[in-house]
Amino acid sequence: MAKRSHIAVISIPAFSHQASIVEFCKRLVEHHDHLHVTCIFPTIDAPLPATLTLLQSLPPNIHCTFLPPISKQDLPQHAPSPVQIQLAVSQSMPSLRHALSSLLSTTSLDALISDPFANESLEVAKVFNLLSYIYFPTSSMTLSLFLHLPTLHQQVPCAYRDHKEAIQLPGCVPIQGRDLPEHFHNRSSLAYDLLLRRCERLSLAQGFLVNSFSELEQGSERALQEYTNRVYLVGPVIQTGSSSDPKESECVRWLEKQRPNSVLYLSFGSGGTLSQQQLSELAFGLELSGHNFLWVLRVPNDTPDAAYVVGSNDDPLRFLPDGFLERTQARGLVVTSWAPQAQILGHASTGGFLTHCGWNSALESIVFGVPMVTWPLFAEQRLNAVLLTEGVRVGLRPKFNENGLAEREDIAQVVQDVMVGEEGNEIRSRIEKLKVAAADALKEDGSSTRALYQFGTQMANFLGQP
């Protein structure tokens, strides 16, 4: 594609999605230097501070713009955060139309790449005769689920969690209904209706760019290519840059004093929260395990994704069991709200990762070769946990009782199994191979780099460029 092309990209007001699509755009222009990208972000109240920080180091051929904010007061106050986010995106569509019209008045615009949860924009792209693609920040297994949901909706007559047979997506490990995203569990809910409509709209896209790589999801990639030959696995797309936050040096200094592979890192992502009871059980489980740990602690909340929409000024440390910090000070470090995850996972002292199974975190763990304790909370995280524990088998899942609580003894046992057990050693061997495969996929002749070039070629063909 000799001609200079301009692509608009739209995400959703969630940092994990925005971070992933920005990193993808950086990789895209690195390999297609004729491309210019404009990233467009809907907002709720105001741009996310973490996103503003992320955008400070963009190359000159990527520009960003924020759509006029949607007031949180105008969204259903008791709706789950994914519903609020999707409704805010829907309300932002007139602003997107205006932004695209303004771009077209000053420059040529060839294509729009959309987050799957902003795919009303595919209809806007059609109005402006733009090519349209979906950037999927999650696994190809999740893409397969979304593409097949309209069919599943007809085939499964009951609530998915009550469906007795495993759900078999082409090329994927079988999934129990209870491990589908929580939006699936109430088929009469607004959350499910919004998701179903978005899945039905995917057929408008000319192709799908997926944040995964062939060696990780060979089966689902093959099945997707049979379903549509316009699927490109272009990952792993992760954040690896350092930060100037003082917590970075604090964490690294502490890790430097620990033995190789001796530390369990615990983080529930940028918005995950545990209940007070579960937080206490986790603390006691860590204490029982006897292992070193670095824990990113957040104020507890009974809503597992509460930190995405409601901040807290409380000190998270005061919610720990009495005496916990004193009893574990020789082998544990607790930091509040945020830690430099890439630096921690890449450190030689880190030997395990207790993760909420957000796809960004899962990929980072694979890239750095760190075995996982999989602790999914919401969204597609249970689906990711199935892939990680039963598909590629690079993690173990704790036991949860009938009330959905992981108890301290079971937590201590799964930590032991991953950190020093025979099963943990086998996991370490498997994830080390995936680590090498992930690095190979990003090389100049790697599968993901080839897919990125194939995407560029296909777009050029659609545009009629030589």
Catalytic residues: 17, 115
List strand residue ranges (DSSP E) for 116-217, in order: 131-136, 207-210
Task: Name, in order, each residue with C-beta under 8 angstroms of 456's C-beta and a sequence gap of 6 or more.
Answer: 1, 31, 32
Q: Return the structure tokens found at 454.
A: 């194939």
Buried b (16+ CB within 10 A) or exposed e, 240-251: eeebeeeebeeb
Q: Which residues of 357-394 are buried (b: 16+ CB within 10 A; e: fewer)?
A: bbbbbbbbbbbbbbbbbbbbbbbbbbbbbbbbbebbeb
d(CA 290, CA 383): 30
Element (H, E) at 410: helix 408-419
How many angstroms separate the first and last alpha carbons of the chain?
A: 6
Give the Cα separation of 176 and 164 in Å (integer). Answer: 8
DSSP state letter for 258:
S
- Other CB atoms within 10 A of residue 184 CB: 25
User: Could you say which DSSP state residue 380 is in?
Assistant: T
Contact 99, 124 (CB under 8 A): no
